[in-house]
Chain A
Amino acid sequence: MYTISNKLKTFSIALIILGLLGVGYGFMTSHKSFEEVETMLAEETAHHGGGHAVATEAHVVADDSDHSDNSHQANAHDATTDVEHHVDDHAKHVEHVQHQIANRPWSALYVAAFFFFMIALGVLAFYAIQYASQAGWSPVLFRVMEGITAYVLPGGLIVLAIAVASGTIGHYNIFIWMDPDVVAHDKLLQGKSGWLSLGWFAVRGLIFIAGWSLYRHFSRKFSIANDTATDNSNFKKAFRISAAFLVFFIYTESIMSWDWIMSVDPHWFSTLFAWYVFAGMAVSGITVIAFISLYLKSRGHLEIVNDSHIHDLAKFMFGFSIFWAYLWFSQFMLIWYANIPEEVTYFITRIEDYNGLFFGMLVLNFVFPFLVLMNSDYKRIPWFVVMAGIIILIGHYIDVYVMIMPATVGDRWSFGIPEISSVMLFAGLFLFIVFTALTKAPLVVKRNPFLKESEHFHY
């Protein structure tokens, strides 16, 4: 039986407390009054000289074109009302920036919450695949995967809670379609309101989380029961529910990615988005399996895991990184190539305001793992796998960040206390829940039909 070390426990609790403090600070400092934002913008304009003033002007115009009704009216107006309109525009711009600043702690929290949740969900899908495909190499890692998936239920509920709270407690800080005022003036959102309504959104989310948690609960139960059973009936049951879960998962994962991520840009849609999110999920999940296995092994708790198992995990990290890049590029290139205005705005905002992050993550998530994890010998070296894994996890955090932030804070993004403390909060929570779950059962399954093969697995 594994016992969580006091150091790790204190570390995770310290992360949670520091994270909570930082998140609290983020929320307290994000409520700026209209005047404060006004002076802030004026200072910015003064700082950057005339160049920025032109940019803000352009920004206002761009903003206007969003609400096309207004700009048409503006064109129709004569010169006298045009001056009034300018004042109006200014107020609108300040309000817009004010809202973006208020959104930041919400989005930072949401990005971090989703990132750690998606790791657990990715591992759950990977675990189900291992059962359904009757993989011979992985049974020695089942308990590690089960430990990580313990985060699915709390993590999923937290993500959903933040999403719903942003529309009920908050001021529609993440999902603009939750704001009845916006929907009232937006034909497109009215057309989508059959799907995008707060109640239905929450119910859907609860159904998904219930389904994933139920599978996690029962597969864990069968896996532990199999340790002391006399026949393989528990394994067969786990096999059957894994196959069924995978069908359920691929539907719900798609819908979840539309709901929880794609709907932050409710005017935009993409068909392969769900697969894209899944690829990121899978690669981060597998990376974390490798991390935790290597950690436990280095502490002498998981002697049975040999470097061939690590090699296999690293191959999956390599393969799924390329798969992720393939989907990223397929989505990007199709939209870039056709250049249809209603689709391409998604990438234009990202390329203009998030250029470094948007293309930088491609280096972190594709180029780096591709070159580093190509050599077969390097995939067996623990510190090499850990280094590549850290890069991959940072890359996928940025990936989630670039999916959410442009829709909520726009060009007012940065990495500061709200972002870092949100990551700390959920990292602490994740570590605490996962390592507590690892203490609940022996670290290696006892009599899985493929256990012998897995113990002697070598490549």
Chain B
Amino acid sequence: METSKVIHAIYTDDDVLMSAVKKVKAERHHIEEIYTPFPVHGLDKAMGLAPTRIAITSFLYGCVGLIVAIVMMNYIMIEDWPQNIGGKPSFSYMENMPAFVPIMFELTVFFAAHLMVITFYLRSRMWPFKEAENPDPRTTDDHFLMEIAVHGNETELESLLRETGAVEIKLIEKEAH
């Protein structure tokens, strides 16, 4: 199997990490991944990650939920068996709509929330029994790890990372997927 080389630089402070990211980006090195124990505010911007589109998916899922509710209630209550239940007008959907609004609202929220969460799981590849992709267990506690691809420029990279305040620098042979 082919292998690629990466450098793991470990930091112990999120402010140091942020300035290191800016420096590494300024030197035009590609940052493969950063592992942190908690969300670091502004890290995505510093790394230049594209903004998430999950809110847009959620809006669309909400629209689907609304349509499902409308079609369902219209079919059941108006078209299939328009009974007179307590004098409520079941002649058309609009006439009886206020009674359906709670369902329409809840299904909109239900679809928007659940499908968005599932989208999140799929896009971030998370599921039960998933093998953790953690290069160093300390990054779940109090260390920050930056992974940079190496293309024959190890010494230069190493000295740059040393300068940025990395407490540990390791060269790793990584199995390519």
A residues 328-356 touching B (CB-CB < 8 Å):
329, 332-333, 336-337, 339
B44 to chain A, nearest CB (A): 15
Residues of chain A with a CB closer than 8 A to B46's CB: none
Asked if B117 is at the interface of the complex by the 8 Å CB criterion, the answer is no
Partner of B98, one of A337, A374, A376: A337
Whether the pair A333, B59 counts as a contact (CB closer than 8 A) is no
Which secondary structure dominates where chain B touches chain A?
Answer: helix
Q: Are B87 and A339 in contact (CB under 8 A)?
A: yes
Residue B101 is within 8 A (CB to CB) of chain A in the complex: yes
Say yes or no: A336 contacts B87, CB within 8 Å. no
Complex: chain A residue closest to B98, CB-CB: A333
Cα-based distance from A324 to B98 in the complex (angstroms): 16
Q: How would you classify the secondary structure of chain A's contact residues: helix, strand, loop or mixed?
A: helix
Q: B99 at interface (Cβ–Cβ under 8 A)?
A: yes
Residues in B whose Cβ lies below 8 Å from that of A332 = 98
Per-position binary interface string of chain A over residues 361-383, scored 1 when its CB falls under 8 Å from any chain B CB and 0 otherwise: 00000000000001010000000
Q: Which of B104-157 contact A (CB under 8 A)?
A: none
Contact check, B59 vs A329: say whether CB atoms are below 8 A apart.
no
- With a cutoff of 8 Å between Cβ atoms, the chain B residues found around residue A337 in the complex are 98-99
Assembled-state Cα–Cα distance A333/B87 (Å): 15
Residues of A118-142 at the interface with B, using a CB-CB cut-off of 8 Å, are none
| A433 to B168 CA separation, bound complex (whole angstroms) | 65
Looking across the interface, which residue of chain B has its beta carbon closest to that of A334?
B98
A336 to B88, CA, bound (A): 10
B-contacting residues, A289-340, CB 8 Å = 329, 332-333, 336-337, 339
Give chain B interface residues in 29-84, CB to chain A under 8 Å. Answer: 55, 59
Which B residue sits closest to A377, measured CB to CB?
B51
Q: In this complex, what residue of B is CB-closest to A335?
A: B98
Question: In angstroms, how far is the closest chain A Cβ from the Cβ of B53?
Answer: 12
CA A336 – CA B55 in complex, angstroms? 35
CA distance A157 to B109 in the complex (A): 44
Q: How far is the CB of B137 from chain A (nearest CB, A)?
A: 34
Q: Are B99 and A329 in contact (CB under 8 A)?
A: no
Most buried by A among B87, B98, B101: B98
When distances are taken between beta carbons in the complex, the residues of chain A under 8 Å from B87 are: 339
Q: Which residues of B contact A329 (CB under 8 A)?
A: 98, 101
A361 to chain B, nearest CB (A): 16
User: How far does the alpha carbon of A333 sit from the alpha carbon of B98 in the complex, in Å?
Assistant: 6
From A374, which residue of chain B is reached at the shortest CB distance? B59
- B101: chain A residues at CB < 8 Å are 329, 333
A-B pairs, top 10 by smallest CB distance, nearest first, are: A333-B98, A336-B98, A329-B101, A337-B99, A333-B101, A337-B98, A332-B98, A374-B59, A339-B87, A329-B98
- B residues lining the A interface (CB < 8 Å): 55, 59, 87, 98-99, 101
Interface residues of A (CB under 8 A from B): 329, 332-333, 336-337, 339, 374, 376
Sample (12) of A-B pairs whose CB atoms are under 8 Å apart: A329-B98, A329-B101, A332-B98, A333-B98, A333-B99, A333-B101, A336-B98, A337-B98, A337-B99, A339-B87, A374-B59, A376-B55
Beyond A329-B101, A333-B99, A336-B98, list 9 extra A-B contacts (CB 8 Å): A329-B98, A332-B98, A333-B98, A333-B101, A337-B98, A337-B99, A339-B87, A374-B59, A376-B55
